Chains A and B, each alone.
Chain A
Amino acid sequence: EAGVTQSPTHLIKTRGQQATLRCSPISGHTSVYWYQQALGLGLQFLLWYDEGEERNRGNFPPRFSGRQFPNYSSELNVNALELEDSALYLCASSREGNLARGNQPQHFGDGTRLSIL
């Protein structure tokens, strides 16, 4: 089966611009998660979408937003880009939202490398 796909692979922006990152989950997966991996900061949870709804968000400002489409693909939007937004943004998907039991693993894409100049 095809894995999680993310686009673009690399994105270069300047401060104040807006960035859009895209993610297609594994077929049959309804939940999509976004994480930020900044240098030295580990993996930080950003957003969780399930069945088109935002279910949870991490400790990030409102200029980080996103949505999930009817085909379960998702996009992450970052407005008013700042230098510290430079990071690898990882998307993951899983079969069902981890509501009943947290035993469904999340499968990750290769990420979008966002660089802010």
Chain B
Amino acid sequence: GDSVTQMEGPVTLSEEAFLTINCTYTATGYPSLFWYVQYPGEGLQLLLKATKADDKGSNKGFEATYRKETTSFHLEKGSVQVSDSAVYFCALSPLYNQGGKLIFGQGTELSVKP
């Protein structure tokens, strides 16, 4: 079945460091891919999305490129801030999503120190 695997956390970085959170997926065809962020005590916010191969999603300095050849959708940011501390979830929606649900990775906790 379809699945998403994220790198394990927690990831601890200093402010202004470069961030990469790895995400790989298993799915048939061309799923849509998403990154969500969950700040402490809040729900999930859509961070960015990509719906076809080679699409690059970007928002708030974060980027991720849909790589069909490596079935990956890694999240990157050039310079993290303390305010980026949160849990990040990679998710996919199958091409024809008869079940409606998003398939999530286990989440990666990011902690940014000043």
Instruction: Give residues in A with beta carbon < 8 Å to B.
Output: 4, 6, 31, 33, 42-43, 45, 48, 50, 55-56, 58, 90, 92, 97-111
Contacts and interface: CB of A to CB of B under 8 A. Distances in A.
Q: Which 5 A-B pairs have the closest CB atoms?
A: A102-B93, A102-B97, A98-B97, A48-B100, A45-B101
Contacts of B96: 99-102
Nearest to B92: A102
Given A97-B100, A105-B32, A111-B42, 15 more contacts: A33-B100, A42-B106, A43-B104, A43-B107, A45-B99, A48-B99, A48-B101, A50-B100, A92-B44, A98-B100, A101-B32, A102-B95, A103-B49, A105-B46, A106-B46
Contacts of A43: 89, 102, 104, 107
Query: Which of B43, B46, B89, B96: most chain A Cβ within 10 A?
Result: B43
A42 B100 contact: no
Contacts of A102: 31-32, 93-97
A104 B43 CA distance: 18
Interface in B58-98: 89, 93-98
B45 interface: yes
Interface of B: 31-32, 34, 36, 42-46, 49, 51, 89, 93-102, 104-107
A103 B93 contact: yes
B32 A99 contact: no
Query: Which of B32, B42, B44, B105: most chain A Cβ within 10 A?
Result: B44
A110 B51 CA distance: 25
13 contacts: A31-B100, A33-B102, A43-B89, A45-B102, A48-B101, A90-B43, A98-B93, A101-B96, A101-B97, A102-B31, A102-B93, A109-B43, A111-B42
B101 A58 contact: yes
Contacts of B32: 101-103, 105
Contacts of A104: 93
B42 to A, nearest CB: 5
